[in-house]
Structure 1
Amino acid sequence: MTMYQATGLTGPEPTPIVAVKPLVLHTPQRGEDLQVRVSAPVTGSDLPVVLFAHGFGSDLDGYAPLVDHWASRGFVVVQATHLDSKRLDMAADDPRRPQWWRHRVQDMQYILNELDTLEASVPGLTGRVDHSRIVAAGHSFGGQTAGILVGLRVTDPQTGHAEDMSDPRVMASIQVATAGKGGDELTPFAHENLPWLREQDFSHITVPGLVVAGDKDDLPLSTRGPAWTTDPYTLSRGGKSLLTVHGGEHFLGGISGYQAAETTDADPGRVTLVQQVTLAYLCHVTGTDHTHWERAQSVLGNGHPLGRLESK
């Protein structure tokens, strides 16, 4: 029995992929060159793009369970190593630290500007990418990055202003285990150490989106418990869907890497569920195939042991 059969969901068959890294984009204004990884199927044309932002401290090699799954089923997945990565080991007094959240968004916009260059750097990929179908996705801190690209307004802790940094080239988002609104709900730790979470406004997000939240994801950042991570769904406008992963903690069974030590709720079933539902959504929102999403909605509408899928 395959994992798809075990969950009752459906999905396209996998094909071989190629991954090329590091592709280096010269970014002097950033203070570090931007290192990028591109993963893509070896066959197929008109391939949509997933722009994936890693969680706090990770890098372009993270999240293989998601990246490999999406790429092997027809998507070009682009990842970068952001400035908060442990690989860069930025000094505690580095002036860029309070603007990490902004640099992440700028990283993604620079990738979009250089998509032709990246495409040409992967053997056999030139001419096979559909630049008109781009979805931003991310986990944890990366979920905020993806959200900003589609209209999330973050109040800059240094200026006090919240500006529109959305990018019209991004058609939809997937936000996985990411932060909710700030204000009085933030813990003192979050208020002090993650100032970019103090004020977040989801009401300007109008494009389609999928939010994935674990109902046991009790982060030390909010006083509200796991419900905090559903805010990107509940506080956004319509055209959104929410996958609630039963028993899921912050890494949802192990999405950040194969046998990742940081996973506190290791469970192949949860990982498979997130893989399948996010892929079904990607196929649906890019117009590639709607049947797998319809199946997921039917199977996960009520009473499934692994999770629940709802939409508004």
Structure 2
Amino acid sequence: MHSSLARITVGRDDAPTLVLLHGITSSAISQADAINHWARRGYRVVAADARGHGLSPRWEDARLARAGDQLVDDALGLLADLDTQARGRAALGLTAAPAPIVLGHSMGGATAMVAATRHPELLSGLVLEDPSLYGTRSPSDLLARGAARERSLDTELANPAGAVLRALASATMPEAEALPSVWASQRVDPALLRTGVVAPEVPWREAMSALTIPTLLLSGDQPGSARLGAGGLEEARALGNPLITTMLIKGAGHLIRRSRRRGYYAAVDPWLERLLAPIGGTAG
């Protein structure tokens, strides 16, 4: 198992490692603010472009027919690469980082969650930022949403300068991510959008129940934007999995890290430090 995904890696090879998996129409570099934040805190940050995004391979028909599973396979390939690196360092007598913590947003969150149920030995923990919830929308609704995304991207392609200006003017867009976010949207393979796939085909409650590693599940309460919301977080708690910690970020929308930046880091940073302390020390 080997990953063909393009990635950005920042930080020392022996530092505690965070793997960032983005949502649909995004990319690794459009998480520049997050990469900088955690790199400054002493982590090694590995941000990957999902298939059909950024600089990663485009979708082929055979892979597209199993798009949800392919997203998981790609993520596991990346984690297997990091595991091989760590084993190599250990064999040479060098300090190796513990298994990484994966932070996923939306599509990336759903992908990370299912990957963790299949190969939990490759991860130390999960941060799920308002993950996509497979099983909550009909196939026709997903196709309609994919078509709407494609129309929106077509509009951006017709006027990229205007898209950049709107991104720069946004009250929630970090300046470091404005231009990369527009670039990312222009790099999306529309073949994926046409499938409507935004998550592996595993019902979200089933996946969360099966998690065997510490998990922080975040959502916001902005109507029409947050996918889980307070109700979804309560459903997650009702599953009774003691490894899942839930947290509601007041005022946040679907992309919590941008809509409530301080609240996001105030929730995530201490959780990462508590998790890493017993398994190899905190960053910094």
TM-score of Structure 1 vs Structure 2, range by shorter chain? 0.5 to 0.7
Deviation at 1:71, TM superposition (A): 1.9
Q: 1:249 aligns with which of 240, 249, 253?
A: 253
- 1:199 corresponds to which of 200, 203, 213: 203
Matched with 1:34 is 5
- Whole-angstrom CA distance in 2 between matches of 1:84 and 1:236: 36
Partner residue in 1 for 2:76: 109
Residue equivalent to 1:148: 114
The offset of 1:127, in angstroms, is 4.5
Please point out which of 179, 202, 209 is paired with 2:132: 179
Tell me, yes or no, if structure 1 residue 75 matches structure 2 residue 43.
Answer: yes
Q: Match for 1:216 among 213, 217, 222? A: 222
State the Cα RMSD in Å: 3.5
- CA shift, 1:142, in A, is 0.6
Gaps of 5+ in 1: 1-24, 28-32, 120-125, 152-164, 255-264, 293-312
- TM-score where L is the length of structure 2: 0.64
Which segment drifts farther, 198-207 or 167-176? 198-207
Task: Provide the aligned length of Structure 1 versus Structure 2.
Answer: 219
Report the Cα offset of residue 233 of structure 1: 4.9
CA distance 1:39–1:88, shift in 2 (3 Å) = closer
Instruction: Structure 2 unaligned segments of length 5 or more: list them.
Output: 87-92, 144-194
Partner residue in 2 for 1:190? 142
Q: Secondary structure at the match of 2:62?
A: coil
Cα distance, 1:61 vs structure 2: 0.8
- Could you tell me which of 18, 22, 37 is aligned with 1:50? 18
Residues 83/46 of structure 1: CA separation in 2 closer, same or farther (3 Å cut): closer
Pair 1:287 & 2:269 matched = no
Structure showing greater relative contact order (alpha-carbon pairs closer than 8 Å, 6 or more residues apart): 2
Question: Are the counterparts in 1 of residues 114 and 202 from structure 2 also a CA contact under 8 Å?
Answer: no
Letter in 1 for 2:241: R
Displacement of 1:181 after TM fit? 5.2
Structure-2 separation of matches of 1:231 and 1:150 = 20
Separation of aligned partners in 1, 2:229 and 2:216 = 20
- 1:180–1:229 Cα contact (<8 Å) kept: no
After superposing on structure 2, the runs of 4+ consecutive aligned residues of structure 1 that deviate more than 4 Å are: 86-91, 116-119, 126-129, 229-234
Out of 101-110 and 70-79, give the one that drifted further.
101-110
- The aligned counterpart of 1:302 is none
Distance across 2 between alignment mates of 1:148 and 1:26: 18
Deviation at 1:103, TM superposition (A): 2.5
Please tell me whether residue 239 in structure 1 is matched to residue 210 in structure 2: no
Give the CA deviation at 1:86.
5.9
